[in-house]
Homo-oligomer: A and B are copies of this chain.
Amino acid sequence: MVQKKKRNVIVGQSGGPTAAINSSLAGVYRTAIDRGYNKVYGMIHGVQGLMEGRYVDLSDHIQSGLDIELLKRTPSAYLGSCRYKLPEIFESKEIYEKIFDILAKLEIDCFIYIGGNDSMDTIKKLSDYAIISGSDIRFVGCPKTIDNDLALTDHTPGYGSAAKYIGTSVKEIIRDSWSLETSHGQVIIVEVMGRNAGWLTGATALAKGEDCDGPDAIYLPEIPFDMDAFIKKIKALLKTKASIVIAVSEGIRTKDGKYVSDMDKSVEYVDAFGHKQLTGTARYLCNIVSAECGCKTRAIELSTLQRAASHCASRVDILEAYEVGGAAMKAADEGDSGKMVVLERLSDDPYQAGTEVKDVHKIANDERTVPREWISKDGTYVTNEFITYVRPLIQGDVGPIMVDGIPRHLYRPGFQDIL
């Protein structure tokens, strides 16, 4: 059998950035080159940029083994990201024709998309269109999200590093709170990302150990938030401790589905995409606690640092992200399309995991939340099973490459001109 000559690969990043998404990009690039592909293109700002003809030749950017290592340690989406959802094929065939024209022009054989639920939806639709239109381009998805809410995979690259940063930072916040505690009491409320899934907020429990009690309560979005019970709990805690640290998800809602962050009418945030931003949950709760309990309060939002802190990345996470990128490229090279790479956990202790390839049609748009049995009975903490699950994912460090005291990232020459 005559092997068809390998042509080009294109890779894109989509959705919220993470500390590990560029490690997957490095994995895709390395495997594509190793497997004999000619060019590896990078879409600027995902399919949205691609449709506008914005892409780069990645070999202009990754020129050495050192660049690969820098890229693995560079947070945020190196190529830029987008939050763009393709329309249904029957709704807008022109968009698909346009994308496939560009891919044909670039002589693309493999299309790899690194992202979360929306990105897997993109892979699903593009691979479907390839079948309809008789294209032999292969479309494979590579999972990524700090939210850890993708179905079918044991966990998602990006989550482990975010969890490690959150556990570390909350432990430091707890320590800090001890220094100026007073008999009046103080309540610190830490707000963590996660609109519907409490994987990140639950990771605050990682602060707990022989040297730290961990947060005093954890409120996940999976459990309806009860303001009266919350205040009652704070008051009870204040009787036993001078300093209390509470973790809340930005997405906690009351029984009737109303976001707690929506209760504060004085502030409203809408992002550029018209999504309401859920900031202000901790701040609002602090105001309530201050009024109800008469104590000092402080609201701390971990904000974008929790998804960008590559200086505190998990080694397991960065290496898995790299492997998953390579596995996605390998799958596409070997003929898979309409697939996503997933991580399968083989064992907790010692931790072992491997990659598998699954049908993307079974994954897209399905949000995985924390199972009820991994949340304490009264809904204000995570169980030991949760910790057993997350602990292996935060192991080991990826020393940043420090230059003059600050972590070095991979530079993006000439990007300003394409943006």
Contact check, B391 vs A180: say whether CB atoms are below 8 A apart: no
- The answer, yes or no, to whether A307 is at the interface (CB within 8 Å) is yes
Task: From A86-94, A215-223, A360-368, A401-409, give the one contacting chain B.
Answer: A401-409
Query: A residues within 8 Å of B by Cβ?
Result: 13, 16-17, 74-77, 80-83, 164, 167-169, 171-173, 175-182, 184, 186, 206-207, 209-212, 241-242, 266-267, 271-272, 277, 279, 283, 287, 295-296, 298-301, 303-305, 307-312, 314, 391, 394-397, 402-412, 415-416, 419
Contact check, A171 vs B77: say whether CB atoms are below 8 A apart: no
Instruction: Tell me how far the C-beta of A47 lies from the nearest C-beta in chain B, rounded to whole angstroms.
Output: 14
Closest 9 CB pairs of A and B: A394-B405, A176-B308, A77-B179, A17-B179, A76-B175, A272-B296, A172-B308, A211-B411, A81-B179
Q: In the assembly, how many copies of this chain are there?
A: 2
Q: Given contacts A173-B304, A209-B408, are A76 and B167 in contact (CB under 8 A)?
A: no
Could you say which residues of chain B place their CB within 8 Å of the CB of A168?
A: 311, 406-407
Which single member of B272, B298, B408, B419 contacts A304 (CB below 8 Å)?
B298
Contact check, A76 vs B179: say whether CB atoms are below 8 A apart: yes
**A241 CA to B406 CA, complexed, in Å:** 24
Instruction: Tell me how far the C-beta of A49 lies from the nearest C-beta in chain B, rounded to whole angstroms.
Output: 11
Contact check, B272 vs A184: say whether CB atoms are below 8 A apart: yes
Contact check, B404 vs A391: say whether CB atoms are below 8 A apart: yes
Instruction: Tell me how far the C-beta of A121 lies from the nearest C-beta in chain B, rounded to whole angstroms.
Output: 18
